[in-house]
């Protein structure tokens, strides 16, 4: 039983918070004056190109760089052998056998996925580096490629000898009594296999860094776009055998992250080694092809042997499932994905008996990295598929089944079977709003009209949770020896000598508008207009405004990032009030901050000090302050969300603090001859509690929806049996362009979070709502055509066509046993 | 300067005009869009030598004195950018559209932007911004 | 991503361009660059000399020949096809199909000559030009010759244009009364790469149906054309004529569709293209 500690939500007077203030970041970005890492230049810098494995699996017999070194303009090279000597393998989070995997910055002895970096060359220009790469001679001995997660379990082809098994992690999660629920059920719905496919958010700016090495200090400066430098440093410093303080990460503008810029440490270590070896700054920009083949895919998860217990009245009482998660060639951030789904174990629903047998395996595919919706999205897709398949098979209305089974608003805060607490939300009301936006009442009419035109029309709902503010203690449920728990984020707010308010953040924004929203929060607390608040761009280790978990990920900025900003601003405010009270010789309670001044409330006009005066006193004119009063006007605050400890035995605990709701609804028309799916109506309703900047929130909903639509209808990282990625560019890996997007209607609700500092939940990932509702809509549309079951999360035209040709093949997947 | 140098790298690396961006390897994403003799083209599919004698406008040329164009201001007002990486290319394509078609419809805007990929906004606010700058057809 | 070293020439006349192509084994013409530059970035092909046709304005014209044929200069861009009043009057399907190719930026540079000379099986214009019974004029140092569409497209990436030769223009018959054109495609996303496409022309002499993406070169569907001889071109007859076409094809299987899927698409799209052409017959 977990206790919820209600962190008091300050009722910030509704000032700038809550307003859709236009973003300050835009001024530089619309003029092309943003500074992305590839815009940074250093005199004498070298450009790096990675030589990558063309094989999915191969022994590296020999590497000869001599011809590359002879090319004029080439500064140097590095290979796996050198890396194995001068670095240690990266820290692994799993227990044995996965924890024994040796993961180096370059392939050592063996290449384990197509595109894996095997060597690197550095040259005076980008073109020369590319030419030099062609001159590196590598002899490979191809090995059989393992490309199926289920195959991996057989351990016929084993990727990592040190582990001796392809299993990275496995465990059983069992809460309640699912066997009893199944025994008592009126219907048991069995689904053999559902598959959540491999895709990623493919941020437009590729990964990369410019690395400088200061020989005198033994320090590296890494100008980059790593979106979670806290953990980047934890991986890199021990590998480089240096203290963590020797790594300075500097980010400025970042062209999207979505989680795909978290596992950049292998390439960054190579750059650090080269910078040190060659005595010059070195720069690497990832190619698009490399991002697709070798950077970050989302977790691919296969769900097997699903059994669902359903009562006659439509109440779903429990489910069991066997999940196989394919994390590609190296775990890296994994196996965290093996527990993070448990933040949303029951999905949106009230069932109490849940059994998940979870195994994660390595295959010869690109390593995964957290991808927008990380691990929760896969699990929520499962629960939504279950609801739709149960409804379809039992002849129930999927909307009614949802309402029957949703956790109710009156039950909030709601403790799930594994001890997580859904903080607030009204799922039924959000669903109603979504249905109204797509004119639910007219669906049958529209279905008939479409049929007259030869089209199959369908409606689907996808409900999803965007869980935010991670408790890293959940990692101990995977590996009890890990020393991680809780979470934190830092910020500092100061008043400069000329009265300038300056904010530095530990977060690493990649488009979420942190500079603007932080300014809104500070402006309300300090009583000045947001334009007077300067927020330093990006993350810099030397700002010292970061903590161990700093970064932008896991839908938590509104809680932890802004919580830190709020905390620091309040400390500053209190000090400013105290200082003003002293100077104006008035009691502290009578001092207010407004319009950029500290003044006596309802006092004479002269009884006011501009911020500049306060700054000047402390910084330049402080002799008259008494010895026991030492204001700094410079405050760093660490927001530490409170979770309590997790229970390693029962695998329960508060794994995350806030839960934003998103309910999506889609209406599709399918061309039965071609399988083409057209979205003709779409609605997304978001409830993330208090919205700091509603326009920014809505922008995140749009973006998450576009990602989900792309994933649902076309984006798929497909491999052939040799482990070659077939969708390595934007022709074959089709992402939505402007003409591909349906008209989007959005709605918003605000169920404030009782636990978040500003009542604002984290949001942004979107939980894959679009994938869930499009799968549902397709299944609904195809009902007249043999009732095929949608079994895969990606349904491009050829798959829909196959379902139309042979609906029975998909139906063989499902069995209903009824009393 | 080698004949093989792509125009986008010439602009970025040789001229220091880093507002034009590279987002892909195959000419799909449009982040590199510039104007060549007034027409939007992808600078990653041109060699720098090819444009000898032609007039090139990059994002830096839209508001050379720092006075934002109505379109740039509309992007800000309508929250038409998040990470900003596709934004220069979007602005070049949209500016060219508005020069030819002062009041484009929604479909016309989407056609004009079809060669510019965005992964942040879902295009919703971008289309709104362009329509608004066009006086809202 | 980055090209190998290459020599570059920008001749001022067609004669000079052909001379450069004839004199250098490793020379390739650079038209719009929307395919070739990508190919060179991937280092899938690395010509030694690029002969930039960009200065050859005489290859950019769209006009009517003395015989009334619509003459499209090989360097005419997709954008020119779309905005040309000659095309709109004589054979509007050309502009309509061009408007679905990729995007504005590509259409501002990509040329009709480049599209056909690459002869990628997924390109839009080869099957369309076969349906329109276009003729292709090729010039070399030895003179000029004109080739019919079926002889022009010879294999994947292979056309009748040989070493030291240059395609200078494509001639398309103007639509006369009773002529209608149709085009139907299944693409990867809107305006994306074709998965299967079909072009059809209905004239008083009969029907021409051509499929793209199913064979190394555009495939005339002669069985379907024969079944439609003298037909009323109703939905029923056209569908019936298309039935079974798939079985005669041997299309590729790839990530965007199996061979069977392409066979099914071929039948559907061939029928739709013919029906479209029939509905648009000029009075």
Does residue A228 contact residue A370 with C-beta atoms inside 8 Å? no
Residue C170, beta-bridge partner list: C72, C136
- Same domain? C69 vs C162: yes
Band (pLDDT 50/70/90 cuts) for residue A13 is low
On the question of pLDDT at B137 being above 70, the answer is no
Is B87 an 8 Å CB contact of chain A?
Answer: yes
Among C172, C194, C218, identify where a domain stops: C172
> Does residue C240 fall inside a structural domain?
yes
Digits of tens for pLDDT over chain C (283 positions)? 899 999 999 999 999 999 999 999 999 999 999 999 999 999 999 999 999 999 999 999 999 999 999 999 999 999 999 999 999 999 999 999 999 999 999 999 999 999 999 999 999 999 999 999 999 999 999 999 999 999 999 999 999 999 999 999 999 999 999 999 999 999 999 999 999 999 999 999 999 999 999 999 999 999 999 999 999 999 999 999 999 999 999 999 999 999 999 999 999 999 999 999 999 998 7
- Same domain? C117 vs C193: no
Is B51 an 8 Å CB contact of chain C?
Answer: no
On the question of pLDDT at A547 being above 90, the answer is no
At B70-80, the pLDDT tens digits run: 999 999 999 99
- Indicate which CATH number applies to the domain containing C250: 3.30.390.50
Pure H helices in chain B: 7-9, 70-77, 87-100, 106-113, 124-133
Is A291 an 8 Å CB contact of chain B?
Answer: no
Query: Among the CATH numbers 3.30.365.10, 3.30.1490.100, 3.30.559.10, 1.10.260.40, which is that of A423-468+658-813?
Result: 3.30.365.10
Band (pLDDT 50/70/90 cuts) for residue A615 is very high
At A664-703, the pLDDT tens digits run: 999 999 999 999 999 999 999 999 999 999 999 999 999 9
Is B130 an 8 Å CB contact of chain C?
Answer: no
Q: Which residue of A has its CA nearest to C256?
A: A798
Residues of C engaging A, defined by a Cβ cutoff of 8 Å = 1-5, 43, 103, 186, 188-193, 195, 254-258, 261, 264-265, 268-269
Chain C residues close to B97, C-beta within 8 Å:
104
DSSP state of A785: G
Task: Identify the pLDDT of residue A771.
Answer: 98
Task: Identify the pLDDT of residue C85.
Answer: 98
Pure H helices in A585-622: 611-620
Going by C-beta distance under 8 Å and a sequence separation of 6 or more, which residues neighbour residue A410? none
Among C112, C146, C172, identify where a domain stops: C172
- Return the closest-CA partner of residue C118 out of C210, C30, C198, C56: C30
Task: Identify the pLDDT of residue A543.
Answer: 87
Cis peptide before A788 (omega within 30 of 0): no
- Do C108 and B41 count as a contact with CB atoms less than 8 A apart? yes
> Does residue C138 fall inside a structural domain?
yes
* Rg, chain A, Cα only: 27
Q: Which residue of A has its CA nearest to B12?
A: A39
Closest in C4, C190, C257 to A798, CB measured: C257
Does residue A286 contact residue A295 with C-beta atoms inside 8 Å? yes
Band (pLDDT 50/70/90 cuts) for residue A3 is very low
Closest in C33, C79, C104 to B46, CB measured: C33
> Does residue C1 fall inside a structural domain?
no
Range in A117-126, A759-768, C9-18, C207-216 with the lowest mean pLDDT: A759-768
Phi, psi of A63 (to 5 degrees): -130, 125
Separation CA C96–CA A256 (nearest Å): 36
> What average pLDDT does the segment A480-496 reach?
92
Q: Helices B87-100 and B70-77, interaxial angle, to 10°?
A: 130
Query: Domain extents for chain A?
Result: 2-11+487-639, 38-148+204-295, 423-468+658-813
- Do B50 and C52 count as a contact with CB atoms less than 8 A apart? yes
Q: Which residue of C has its CA nearest to A672?
A: C268
- Do B3 and C102 count as a contact with CB atoms less than 8 A apart? no
Band (pLDDT 50/70/90 cuts) for residue A14 is low
Separation CA A214–CA A280 (nearest Å): 9
- Do C8 and B47 count as a contact with CB atoms less than 8 A apart? yes
> What average pLDDT does the segment A318-346 reach?
97
- Do B62 and A31 count as a contact with CB atoms less than 8 A apart? yes
Average pLDDT, rounded, for chain A: 95
A2-11+487-639, which class in CATH? alpha beta
The DSSP bridge pattern shows strands A282-285 and A46-52 to be parallel
Chain C residues close to B115, C-beta within 8 Å:
102-106
Residues of A engaging C, defined by a Cβ cutoff of 8 Å = 126-127, 130-131, 134, 287, 289, 673-676, 714, 716, 718, 726-727, 731-732, 734, 736-737, 739-740, 796-798, 801-802, 805
- Do C34 and B93 count as a contact with CB atoms less than 8 A apart? no
The DSSP bridge pattern shows strands A247-251 and A187-196 to be unpaired
At B12-36, the pLDDT tens digits run: 999 999 999 999 999 999 999 999 9
- Do A702 and B124 count as a contact with CB atoms less than 8 A apart? yes
Q: What is the CATH number of domain B7-133?
A: 1.10.150.120
- Return the closest-CA partner of residue B127 out of A438, A742, A517, A255: A742
Best interface-test mutation with B: which of C10, C34, C105, C111 has the largest number of B CBs within 10 A?
Answer: C105
Going by C-beta distance under 8 Å and a sequence separation of 6 or more, which residues neighbour residue A452? none
> Does residue C273 fall inside a structural domain?
yes
Task: Identify the pLDDT of residue B40.
Answer: 98
Domain A38-148+204-295 identical in fold to domain A423-468+658-813: no
Task: Identify the pLDDT of residue A551.
Answer: 83
On the question of pLDDT at A7 being above 80, the answer is no
Chain B closest-CA separation from residue C190 CA (Å) = 9
The answer to whether the pTM exceeds 0.80 is yes
Q: B residues 9-68 near A, CB within 8 Å? A: 9, 12-13, 16-26, 28-29, 31, 58-60, 62-63, 66, 68
Task: Identify the pLDDT of residue A549.
Answer: 84
DSSP state of A719: B
Chain C closest-CA separation from residue B21 CA (Å) = 14
Task: Identify the pLDDT of residue A555.
Answer: 81
| Subunits close to B (at least 3 CB pairs below 8 A) | A, C
On the question of pLDDT at A2 being above 80, the answer is no
- Do C256 and A732 count as a contact with CB atoms less than 8 A apart? yes
Number of separate domains in chain C = 3
On the question of pLDDT at A26 being above 50, the answer is yes
Percent of chain A topping pLDDT 70: 98
Query: Domain extents for chain B?
Result: 7-133
Does residue A681 contact residue A742 with C-beta atoms inside 8 Å? yes
- Do B119 and A258 count as a contact with CB atoms less than 8 A apart? yes
On the question of pLDDT at A554 being above 90, the answer is no
CA atoms within 13 A on the CB side of B78: 20
> What average pLDDT does the segment A242-270 reach?
97
> What average pLDDT does the segment A348-367 reach?
98
At B90-124, the pLDDT tens digits run: 999 999 999 999 999 999 999 999 999 999 999 99
Other CB atoms within 10 Å distance of the CB of residue A142: 14
Q: Which residue of B has its CA nearest to A40?
A: B18
Closest in B45, B50, B96 to C38, CB measured: B45
CATH 3.90.1170.50 fits A38-148+204-295, yes or no: yes
Is A23 an 8 Å CB contact of chain B?
Answer: yes
Best interface-test mutation with C: which of B27, B28, B40, B107 has the largest number of C CBs within 10 A?
Answer: B27
Which structural domain range is residue C12 located in? 7-52
Is B112 an 8 Å CB contact of chain C?
Answer: yes
Chain C residues close to A732, C-beta within 8 Å:
188, 255-256
Phi, psi of B124 (to 5 degrees): -60, -55
Element (H, E) at C128: helix C125-131
Task: Identify the pLDDT of residue A44.
Answer: 97
Chain A residues close to B86, C-beta within 8 Å:
204, 255
Best interface-test mutation with C: which of A71, A801, A805 has the largest number of C CBs within 10 A?
Answer: A801
On the question of pLDDT at A86 being above 90, the answer is yes
Separation CA A50–CA C23 (nearest Å): 37
Chain B residues close to C109, C-beta within 8 Å:
41-42, 45-46
Chain A closest-CA separation from residue C137 CA (Å) = 32
């Amino acid at each position: 039983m977990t206790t919820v500690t209600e962190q008091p939500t300050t009722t910030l007077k509704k000032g700038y918070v809550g307003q859709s203030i236009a973003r300050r970041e835009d001024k530089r970005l619309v003029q092309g004056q943003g500074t992305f890492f590839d815009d940074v230049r250093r005199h004498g810098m070298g450009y790096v190109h990675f030589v990558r494995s063309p094989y999915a699996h191969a022994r590296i017999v020999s590497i000869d760089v001599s011809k590359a070194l002879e090319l004029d303009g080439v500064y140097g090279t590095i290979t796996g052998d050198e890396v194995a000597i001068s670095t240690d393998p990266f820290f692994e989070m799993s227990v044995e056998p996965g924890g024994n995997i040796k993961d180096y910055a370059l392939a050592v002895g063996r290449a384990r996925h197509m595109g894996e970096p095997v060597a690197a060359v550095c040259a005076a220009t980008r073109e020369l580096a590319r030419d030099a790469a062609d001159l590196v001679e590598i002899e490979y001995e191809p090995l059989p490629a393992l490309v199926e997660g289920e195959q991996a379990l057989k351990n016929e082809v084993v990727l990592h000898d040190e582990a001796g098994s392809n299993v990275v992690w496995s465990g059983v999660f069992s809460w309640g009594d699912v066997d009893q629920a199944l025994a008592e059920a009126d219907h048991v719905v069995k689904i053999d296999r559902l598959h959540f496919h491999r895709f990623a958010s493919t941020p437009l700016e590729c990964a990369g860094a410019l690395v400088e090495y200061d020989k005198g200090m033994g320090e590296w400066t890494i100008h980059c776009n790593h979106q979670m430098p806290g953990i980047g440093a934890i991986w890199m410093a021990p590998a480089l055998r240096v203290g963590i303080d020797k790594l300075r990460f500097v980010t400025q503008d970042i062209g999207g992250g979505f989680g795909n810029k978290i596992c950049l440490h292998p390439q960054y270590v190579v750059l650090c080694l080269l910078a040190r070896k060659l005595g010059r700054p070195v720069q690497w920009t990832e190619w698009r092809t490399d991002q697709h083949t070798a950077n970050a895919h989302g977790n691919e998860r296969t769900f097997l042997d699903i059994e669902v217990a359903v009562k006659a009245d439509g109440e779903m009482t429990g489910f069991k499932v066997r999940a196989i998660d394919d994390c590609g060639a190296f775990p890296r951030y994994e196996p965290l994905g093996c527990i993070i789904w448990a933040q949303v174990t029951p999905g949106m629903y009230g069932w109490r008996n849940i059994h998940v047998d979870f195994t994660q395996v390595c295959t010869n595919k690109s390593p995964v990295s957290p991808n927008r919706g990380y691990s929760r999205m896969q699990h929520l897709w499962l629960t939504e598929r279950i609801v739709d398949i149960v409804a379809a098979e039992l002849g129930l209305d999927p909307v009614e089944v949802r309402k029957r089974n949703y956790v109710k608003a009156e039950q909030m805060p709601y403790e799930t079977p594994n001890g997580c607490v859904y903080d607030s939300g009204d799922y039924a009301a959000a669903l109603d709003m979504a249905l109204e936006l797509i004119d639910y009442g007219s669906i049958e009419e529209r279905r008939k009209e479409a049929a007259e035109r030869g089209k199959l029309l369908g409606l689907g709902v996808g409900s999803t949770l965007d869980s935010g503010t991670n408790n890293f203690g959940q990692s101990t449920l995977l590996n009890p020896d890990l020393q991680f728990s809780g979470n934190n984020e830092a910020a500092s707010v100061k008043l400069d000598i000329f009265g300038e308010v300056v904010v530095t953040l530990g977060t690493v924004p990649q488009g979420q508008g942190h500079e603007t929203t932080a300014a809104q929060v500070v402006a309300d607390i300090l009583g000045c207009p947001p334009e007077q608040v300067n927020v330093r761009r990006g993350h810099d280790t030397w700002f010292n405004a970061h903590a161990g978990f700093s970064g932008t990920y896991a839908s938590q900025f509104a809680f932890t990032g802004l919580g830190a900003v709020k905390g620091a601003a309040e400390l500053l405010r209190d000090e400013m009030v105290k200082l003003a009270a002293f100077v104006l010789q008035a009691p502290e309670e009578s001092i207010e901050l407004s319009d950029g001044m500290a003044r006596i409330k309802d006092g004479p006009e002269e009884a006011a000090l501009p911020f500049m005066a306060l700054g000047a006193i402390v910084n330049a004119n402080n002799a008259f302050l008494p010895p026991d009063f030492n204001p700094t006007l410079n405050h760093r605050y660490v927001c530490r969300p409170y979770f309590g400890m997790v229970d390693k035995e029962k695998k329960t605990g508060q794994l995350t603090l806030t839960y934003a709701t998103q309910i999506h609804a889609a209406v599709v028309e399918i061309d039965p001859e071609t399988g083409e799916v057209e979205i003709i109506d779409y609605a997304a309703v978001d409830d993330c509690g208090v919205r700091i900047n509603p326009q920014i929130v809505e922008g995140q909903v749009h973006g998450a929806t576009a990602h989900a639509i792309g994933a649902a209808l076309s984006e798929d990282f497909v491999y052939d049996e040799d482990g070659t990625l077939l969708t390595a560019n934007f022709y074959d890996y089709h992402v939505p362009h402007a003409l591909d997007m349906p008209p989007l209607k959005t709605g918003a609700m605000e169920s404030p979070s009782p636990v978040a500092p500003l009542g604002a939940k984290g949001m942004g990932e979107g939980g894959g709502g679009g994938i869930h509702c499009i799968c549902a809509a397709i299944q609904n549309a195809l009902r007249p055509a043999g009732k095929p079951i949608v079994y895969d999360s990606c349904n491009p035209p050829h798959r829909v066509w196959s379902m139309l040709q042979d609906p029975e093949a998909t139906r063989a997947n499902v069995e209903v046993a009824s009393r | 300067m080698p004949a093989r140098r792509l125009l986008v790298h010439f602009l970025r690396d040789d001229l220091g005009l880093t507002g034009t961006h590279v987002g892909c390897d195959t000419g799909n994403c449009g982040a590199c869009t510039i104007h060549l003799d007034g027409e939007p083209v992808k600078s990653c599919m041109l060699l720098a030598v090819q444009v000898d004698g032609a007039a090139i406008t990059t994002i830096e040329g839209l508001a050379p004195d720092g006075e934002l164009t109505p379109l740039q201001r509309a992007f800000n007002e309508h929250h038409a950018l998040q990470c900003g990486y596709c934004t220069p290319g979007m602005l070049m394509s949209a500016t060219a559209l508005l020069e030819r078609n002062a009041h484009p419809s929604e479909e016309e805007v989407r056609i004009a932007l079809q060669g510019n990929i965005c992964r942040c906004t879902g295009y919703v606010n971008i289309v709104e911004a362009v329509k608004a700058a066009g006086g809202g057809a | 991503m980055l090209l190998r070293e290459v020599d570059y020439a920008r001749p001022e006349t067609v004669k000079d361009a052909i001379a450069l192509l004839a004199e250098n084994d490793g020379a390739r013409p650079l038209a719009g660059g929307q395919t070739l530059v990508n190919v060179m970035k991937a280092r899938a092909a690395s010509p030694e000399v690029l002969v930039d046709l960009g200065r050859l304005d005489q290859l950019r014209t769209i006009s009517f020949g003395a015989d009334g044929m619509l003459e499209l200069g090989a360097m005419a861009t997709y954008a020119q096809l779309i905005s040309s009043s000659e095309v709109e009057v004589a054979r509007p399907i050309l502009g309509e199909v061009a408007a679905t190719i990729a995007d504005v930026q590509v259409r501002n540079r990509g040329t009709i000559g480049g599209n056909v000379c690459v002869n990628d099986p997924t390109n839009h214009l080869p099957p369309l030009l076969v349906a329109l019974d276009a003729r292709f004029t090729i010039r070399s140092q030895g003179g000029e010759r004109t080739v019919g569409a079926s002889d022009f497209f010879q294999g994947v990436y292979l056309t009748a244009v040989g070493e030291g030769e240059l395609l200078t223009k494509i001639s398309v018959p103007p639509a006369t009364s009773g002529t209608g054109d149709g085009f139907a495609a299944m693409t990867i996303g809107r305006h994306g790469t074709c998965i299967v496409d079909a072009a059809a022309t209905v004239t008083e002499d009969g029907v021409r149906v051509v499929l793209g993406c199913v064979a190394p070169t555009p495939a005339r569907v002669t069985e379907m054309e024969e079944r439609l001889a003298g037909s009323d071109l109703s939905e029923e007859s056209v569908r019936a004529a298309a039935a079974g076409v798939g079985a005669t094809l041997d299309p590729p299987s790839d990530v965007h569709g199996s061979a069977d899927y392409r066979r099914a698409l071929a039948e559907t799209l061939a029928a739709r293209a013919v029906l479209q052409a029939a509905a648009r017959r000029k009075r």
